[in-house]
Each structure stands twice: as structure tokens, then as C-alpha cells.
Amino acid sequence: MTYYSLNRKAPETTFKDAVIRGLAPDKGLYFPKEISPLPKAFFATIAHKTNHEIAFEAIKQFVGTEIPEPILKSIIEETLNFNFPIINLNDQISILELFHGQTMAFKDVGARFMARCLGFFNRNNNNEVTVLVATSGDTGGAVANGFLGVKGVNVVILYPSGKVSKIQEKQLTTLGKNITAIEVDGVFDDCQDMVKRAFVDTDLTSTMQLTSANSINIARWLPQLFYYLFAYKALKPKYDDIVFCVPSGNYGNICAGMVAQKLGLPVEHFVAANNANDAVVRYMDTKTYNPKPSMATLSNAMDVGNPSNFVRIQELYNNSFEDLKSHLSTFSFSDTETEGAILELFNAHNYIADPHGAIGYLGAKAYLKKNPKAHTVVLETAHPTKFLDVVKRVIQNKVEIPVQIRAIMDKPKSSIKIATYKELKALLLES
């Protein structure tokens, strides 16, 4: 499969090269040159396929021959080593739980897939690759966990000091080995800016192979399309057309769902639900894209002022505002509304949601107001215990802590504090 840069000033390249580079040399995001719909029979017979078979069929064309089929199959099996249950709240709303993996957020899917692809590409290479990644909360843990112990790969994670939850911080600062956590005095956008600067800093790129593991990397972004297909498989007997409601920050997850739609998945509509960081909501209202610095909210993994993947979404809909508008609705919700939704889900449905999933639920309700016949599927992107303080305070009830989380609670944190890009650069050069 050939990939091109969305800035269109870099040469086209292979899956392998795009995965290793992360970002194209012209700083553009990579995008597949062609997306061929899957055969109609694939969707007609989906009920008889396993999740691993579905994922393999769906991702095959994006990888091409660069990973041999048996290896790609085992990468998929190792990536998808957990379940994706659907909870039916009522005739209008189902919840797709994406948090049953190692770090209890959907990012485990992309991180595990990417780590294994990179490990394969790097298998005979004596030069180490450094994965540099900025996290607003969940990426860090998923990437750290996915890459832990992968040969020939060092991982450096930047996170905004004091702006991730306690458990999120534990997940990325307690692993050691090939994982280094850097605590930045600033917000997520500062971390992301430092990462972007490092990728174009020739002092660094001439001495080391840097790559990213943010959703800008195609190997993290694309496998996220898998569970949209799983949801279709589970709901097909009852609901033909689904509306997916995706709590969105960097817009990688929802954009992967849109790729699934290009593959032929019947999707009635997409809803992107945002917190106060609403650059895309304002764009859809005004046709003017005017990103702002990110603001801290209860749903911190969505505190993104300038969503990187939005350019991919525009490309998918041929850069046509009208086309996009007919496929995507967007809403923004405050922290107070988020708390209200957590409480409502608990009281009315006995369901404990995390703040991100709660925003997805609000998005579904907003969409249903105008489209009462729709069936919406809310993507619950993280386990509620990752945001224990908020959830406990709101529902005034105990939340059971799963084993994955209990295992890291008492481990000592280890991080390096920095405030400037200069400090990051010095650290990378000395390593």
C-alpha cells in the first residue's frame, strides 16, 4: 500500500516507511492512497467470522505485502487479546466497551498493533528506534505497556505535569526498562509541540531514528477501525444502520471509524462529542477553523486544542464541507454536564461510565433529540476507575478496581521533570 503526505510536499512511501517515520518529512500526516471497499459478502457473512478474521480482512490492504500474512495474523491475535462487549441500555442507545485491555482504554488496540509492527520491521536492525510520544492521559500508558520490552525500541513519553489522573500517571511512570517518562511543566499542547519540534530537528534526526506513537502514526490510527466492525457484527441482527458516538480529542478514533465506513460498513452517521475543547464543533458551525490552546477538563484525554487527525477526516470527505456535514454532527459539553451524565447513567441504567464515555452518551442524546428513530452506539473509551476521584465523588458509591489497575497502584513513580524543548533535546542526545 502506498501512503502520501497530506501536505503533499513529501515523496509517497510504503506502509513500513510511514510507520517508522510517523510524520512525513514535510510534517504532513500520512494517508493511504486508495481505500478499496471490502466485498459485500464480507458484511453479509460477518456474523460467522471471528474478531481476528474480521480484523485481518479489514487491515490487509493497508499493510500490503510488507508484513507476511501469517505474521500479520499473529500480530492481530496478540493485539486483540481482549473482548469488546456491547451493553444495550435501551432501544436507542448501546454502549461499546473498549476498555478491557491492559491499560483499560481503547488506545491499547492501536498501541499494541503498532508496537508489534515496529518490532517486526526492526527485527534485523541493530540501530535502535526511539518512539517519542506526547500524551494527554491514556496514550502514555497504552504505548508504554504496548512497547514494554520490545527489542530495539526505546520509548520516551511526555505528559503534562499534574494534568493526568493518578492512575494514568502510574501507568506510564512505573514500568522502567525501555520506557522513560518525562513530566513537562505545561499543558498537553506544549508536550505535542515539543514532539513535533523534535521530529524536524536535524540535530536529532541525523543521529537517531525517531518515530511517533501518537494517532498520527498510521499503525496506531488504522487498527482502531476494527471495533466499529465488531459492533456492526453484534448489532446487525437488530439494527441495520448505526450511529456511532465517539468522545473525541485528537479525532483519531472517529476518523478510523470513517475509514471503516469507506470499507463499506453501513453507518448512518457519526457524532463527535467534545468537552470544552471544541475547535471542530466551532468549525462545523462557522466553517472557520480556529484552534485554541487546550483547556483542562474532567475528560483530560480529550483536552486537545488543535486535533491532529482532523485533516485526515477532511481528506476522507474530499475536503468538502457539505460532504462532511452530511456525515458528522458535533457537540460540546461542560464538566457540569459531564458529571450530570455520569450520575444519570448510574441512576437510570445502573451503569458506571467514565467522564469520556459520559460525554459520548450526551452526544448520543443530543443526536437522538432530532433523530429519535436512530440507534446510537456510544464508544466507552476508558474504564471508570481510571478517573476514580471524579466518578466516586459523582455517584457517591464504591467502584470496583480491576486487577490491571490494582497491580500498579503501589509501584513507585519515576519521571524526569522538564520545562523547555532545550531540556528534552539534551536528554535525547545524551541517551
Ligand X SMILES: *Cc1c(COP(=O)(O)O)cnc(C)c1O
Q: Which three cell numbers stand for residue 338?
A: 459531564
> Would you count residue 247 as binding ligand X (CB under 6 A)?
yes
Burial grade of 86 (CB within 10 A; 0-12, 13-18, 19 or more) = middle
Report the nearest approach of ligand X to the CB of residue 382 (Å).
3
Among 171, 212, 250, 275, binds ligand X (CB under 6 A): 250
Task: Looking at residues 34 to 63 of the shown chain, list those that interact with ligand X (rule: CB under 6 A).
Answer: none
Report the nearest approach of ligand X to the CB of residue 272 (Å).
8
Stretch that binds ligand X, among 18-26, 154-162, 250-258, 331-339 (CB under 6 A): 250-258
Task: Looking at residues 283 to 312 of the shown chain, list those that interact with ligand X (rule: CB under 6 A).
Answer: 301-302
Stretch that binds ligand X, among 247-255, 282-290, 404-412, 420-428 (CB under 6 A): 247-255
C-alpha–C-alpha distance, residues 205 and 23, integer Å: 12
Report the nearest approach of ligand X to the CB of residue 381 (Å).
3
Per-residue CA distances from 8 to 2, 12, 153 (Å): 14, 9, 29
Residues whose CB is less than 8 angstroms from the CB of residue 308 and which lie 6 or more positions away in sequence, other chains included: 29, 192, 214, 215, 216, 250, 251, 252
Stretch that binds ligand X, among 12-20, 47-55, 244-252, 315-323 (CB under 6 A): 244-252
Report the nearest approach of ligand X to the CB of residue 252 (Å).
4
Task: Looking at residues 138 to 157 of the shown chain, list those that interact with ligand X (rule: CB under 6 A).
Answer: 138
C-alpha–C-alpha distance, residues 250 and 383, integer Å: 19
Residues whose CB is less than 8 angstroms from the CB of residue 307 and which lie 6 or more positions away in sequence, other chains included: 248, 249, 250, 251, 279, 280, 291
- Does residue 383 contact residue 101 with C-beta atoms inside 8 Å? no
Task: Looking at residues 102 to 131 of the shown chain, list those that interact with ligand X (rule: CB under 6 A).
Answer: 105, 107
Residues whose CB is less than 8 angstroms from the CB of residue 56 and which lie 6 or more positions away in sequence, other chains included: 72, 73, 76
Residue window 345-374: x/- pattern of binding to ligand X, with contact defined by CB under 6 A: -----------x------------------
Among 252, 257, 363, 384, binds ligand X (CB under 6 A): 252
Among 130, 173, 192, 253, binds ligand X (CB under 6 A): 253
> Would you count residue 215 as binding ligand X (CB under 6 A)?
yes
Task: Looking at residues 376 to 405 of the shown chain, list those that interact with ligand X (rule: CB under 6 A).
Answer: 381-382
Handedness of CA 96, 390, 250, 99 (dihedral sign): negative
| Edge-to-edge order in the sheet of strand 179-184 | 209-212, 129-134, 153-160, 179-184, 416-418
Report the nearest approach of ligand X to the CB of residue 328 (Å).
13
Report the nearest approach of ligand X to the CB of residue 250 (Å).
3
Report the nearest approach of ligand X to the CB of residue 214 (Å).
9
Handedness of CA 369, 371, 372, 378 (dihedral sign): negative
Q: Which three cell numbers stand for residue 368?
A: 437522538
Report the nearest approach of ligand X to the CB of residue 2 (Å).
24
> Would you count residue 192 as binding ligand X (CB under 6 A)?
no
**Closer of 72 and 218 to ligand X (Cβ):** 218
**Closer of 130 and 165 to ligand X (Cβ):** 165
Report the nearest approach of ligand X to the CB of residue 383 (Å).
9
Report the nearest approach of ligand X to the CB of residue 93 (Å).
18
Stretch that binds ligand X, among 178-186, 242-250, 290-298, 316-324 (CB under 6 A): 242-250
- Does residue 263 contact residue 58 with C-beta atoms inside 8 Å? yes
Helix axes of 166-173 and 138-147: crossing angle, nearest 10 degrees: 30
Burial grade of 57 (CB within 10 A; 0-12, 13-18, 19 or more) = middle
Which parts of 232-318 are beta strand (E)? 242-247, 267-274
Q: Report the residue closest to ligand X, judged by CB.
A: 138
**Closer of 13 and 145 to ligand X (Cβ):** 145
**Closer of 198 and 255 to ligand X (Cβ):** 255
Among 22, 249, 363, 384, binds ligand X (CB under 6 A): 249
Number of helices and strands (H, E) in the chain?
20, 14
DSSP 351-405: ----HHHHHHHHHHHHHHHH-TT-EEEEEE-B-GGGGHHHHHHHHTS--PPPHHH
> Angle at CA 202, nearest 5°, toward 201 and 203?
90
Report the nearest approach of ligand X to the CB of residue 258 (Å).
12
**Closer of 173 and 215 to ligand X (Cβ):** 215
Helix (H, G, I), strand (E, B) or coil at 130: strand
Q: Which residues bind ligand X (CB under 6 A)?
A: 105, 107, 137-138, 215, 247-253, 301-302, 356, 381-382
